Amino acid sequence: MWSLTWKEVWARRLRRHFLIRPEPRDRLVQVVGTVCGIHAQIMQAAELSLGVRVEGATRADVREELWKRRRLVKTYGTRGTLHVFPAAELPMWMAAMRARGMMPNRSQLEWMHLEPAQHEAVITAIGEALDGRCLTREQLGEEVARRVGSWALERLFPAFSEIWPRWLGAIGGAAVAGLLCFGPSQGNKVTFVRPDQWLDGWSEVDDGEALAEVIRRYLAAYGPATQHEFAQWFALRPGAALPAWQRLSDEVVKVDVEGYRTLMLAADAGVAPMTAQDSLRLLPQFDCYVVGGHPRDALIPAPAAGRALAYAGSWVKTPRQARAVLAGPMPVLLVDGVVAGVWQRRRSGRRIDVRVEPFGPLTTRQQERLEEEVTRIGEILQASPTLSLGPIR
C-alpha cells in the first residue's frame, strides 16, 4: 500500500488543478476537461475559476470559447448544476450522467409536480421545439406547452426561492438526453439550442465506458479519493458506479494518507511526492477544487468550519453544515491547499473591491501572493481592483 501525507495530497491536487503553475492561454479548453468541468451557476465565478488556472485569460476569452468558437459548452452537468465542459467531450459527460438513470426518483418528481409520463413528454417536446432553433426560456416554455398541454406552464415547482413552471423540472433531463444546451444570451435572457446542431459533431458514447472515464478523470484531478467521495461529487448511489469501478480494478491502488484509507490511479502512485510551500489562492464560490475535494474535515480544518458558523444562515448549526457552505457558496482563501479564510468582491462599474478575511496570520510572502491574486482577479474580470483585510459580513 502506498503512503502519502496530507501536505503531499494538497500539493498534488494544486498542481493537477493548475493552481501552482497556470497553463498557457491556448490550453484553456483542455484545462476545463482536466478538472472535470467548471461550475457555472454564477458565470462570473466560472470566469474566475478558469482565469486563475490559465495564464493571461480573461472573461472575454471564456465568452469567446463559449459563444464564438464553440469549443466550450454550458449545460446542466454534475449534480444537476450548471457547468462548462469542452464541447468535444459533451457526449461523454452526458452519457456518464445517464448511467445514473434518466428518471428522477419519486420524491424528486413529487417536488417538481411531474408524473413520470409528463417528465418524458416534456423532454421529447424540448427536443422537438429546439430543432433548428434558438429559443429563450419563455419561448421554449410556450413551445413545450403547445405540444404537451397548458399544465406545463403551471407554476408549482419550488426552486431558488421562486416558483417555476412545471416543465422546467425536466430541463436537466433534456440536457442529459443530449437535446439541450445553452446558447448565447439575448440581453439578460438565456437561450437554449440543440447541442447536436450547435456544436461540431455529436457521437454517442456507451454509458458504462463514459462513467469509467469520468472516474479516471476524477481520481487524476481530485485523488486520492474513495468510492463514496466520488459518488457524493457525482451525485449518485455508490453502488450505481460499482460496475465502472470494477472496470478500473487494474488501474487503481490503495493509499494510506496518515491513517485515512483511500484510492488513487496506479499511474500516479509512482510520481515523486510534491510540496506547495506558501501557496496562496483566492477561489470563487463553487470552485471545482473545493467542491470536489475530500475529505472535508481535512480540506476545511476545524477553525475554518467554526468561523464559517458566524456568516452562514441560521440553518447552519454544525461544523459539517459549515463545511458545506465553505465548499460551495462562499469564496475561499486557500493556503497550501486547505481553506484558510474567506473573501468577497463588490463591483461598481470598472472597479472591484476585494475584501479578505484570513483565519490566521499570513507570512510576508503570503501577503505578497495575496496582492498578486487580487491584481489577477482584476485582470480576469477586466476591472481595477482594490484590496482590504477584515471581517466579512
Report pLDDT digits (tens) over 293-306.
999 999 999 878 77
Question: How high is the pLDDT of residue 311?
Answer: 65
Question: Which triple of cell numbers denotes residue 174?
Answer: 433534456
Is-contact 265 23, C-beta < 8 A? no
14 phi and psi angles, rounded to 5 deg: -60, -45
Alpha carbon distances (Å) from 69 to 28, 43, 65: 12, 18, 5
Residues 6+ apart with CB under 8 A from 325: 308, 311, 312, 316
Query: Would you say residue 315 has pLDDT above 70?
Result: no
Average pLDDT of span 22-28: 97
Strands 38-39 and 82-86: antiparallel
Rounded distance between C-alpha atoms, residue 26 and residue 36, angstroms: 18
Q: Provide the pLDDT confidence category of residue 270 given band limits of 50, 70 and 90.
A: confident
**Is residue 312 predicted with pLDDT exceeding 70?**
no
Model confidence at 178: pLDDT above 70: yes
How far apart (Å, rounded) are the C-alpha atoms in residues 314 and 334?
A: 25
- What is the gyration radius of the CA atoms in the chain, in angstroms? 21
- Of the candidates 87, 90, 106, the residue with the CA atom closest to the CA atom of residue 98: 90
**Whole-structure pTM over 0.85, yes or no?**
yes
Q: Provide mean pLDDT across the span 213-242.
A: 93
pLDDT above 90: residue 262: yes
Average pLDDT (154-174) is: 91
CB 141 within 8 A of CB 167: yes
Eight-state DSSP code of residue 22 = P
Q: Is the pLDDT of residue 160 over 80?
A: no
Q: What is the reported pLDDT for 2?
A: 87
Q: Residue with C-alpha cell 434558438?
A: 134
State the DSSP string of 238-300: GGGGHHHHHHTTTTEEEEEETTEEEEEEHHHHTSPP---TT-EEEE-TT-HHHHT---HHHHS
- pLDDT digits over 62-90, tens only? 999 999 999 999 999 988 899 999 999 99
Cβ neighbors of 343 (< 8 A, separation 6 or more) are 282, 331, 332, 333, 354, 355, 356, 357, 392
Q: How crowded is residue 195: how many other Cβ atoms within 10 Å of its Cβ?
A: 22
Whether the predicted pLDDT of 14 surpasses 70: yes
For 16, residues 6+ apart whose C-beta sits below 8 A from its C-beta are 34, 35, 220, 221, 222
Please, what's the b/e burial string for 7-44 (b: 16 or more CB within 10 A of its CB; e: otherwise)?
bbbbbbbbbbbbbbebeeeebbbebbbbbbbbbbeebe
**pLDDT per position as a tens digit, 338-362:** 999 999 999 999 999 999 999 999 9
Asked whether the beta carbons of 235 and 77 are under 8 A apart, the reply is: no
Residue 292 above 80 pLDDT? yes
The answer to whether 180 and 121 are in contact (CB under 8 A) is no
Q: Supply the mean pLDDT for the chain.
A: 92
Task: Count the Cβ atoms, other than its own, within 10 Å of residue 172.
Answer: 19
- Give the span between the Cα atoms of 74 and 6, in whole angstroms: 34
Answer yes or no: is pLDDT of 146 > 80: yes
pLDDT for 328 equals 85
Looking at the chain, list the stretches that DSSP marks H as alpha helix, in order from N- to C-terminal side: 6-16, 28-34, 43-51, 59-67, 90-98, 106-112, 116-129, 137-148, 171-176, 195-198, 207-222, 227-234, 242-247, 266-269, 288-291, 296-299, 302-308, 319-326, 364-381
pLDDT at 277 over 90: no
Residue 99 has pLDDT above 90, yes or no: no
CA distance 257 to 240: 26
Note the pLDDT of residue 69.
97
Farthest-apart Cα atoms in the chain, separation: 64
Greatest mean pLDDT among 47-56, 267-276, 322-331 lies in 47-56
Residue whose C-alpha cell is 464553440: 70
Residue 250's Cβ-count burial label (10 Å; 0-12, 13-18, 19+) is exposed
User: Nearest CA to 315 among 325, 306, 330, 301?
Assistant: 325
Higher pLDDT, 103 or 136: 136
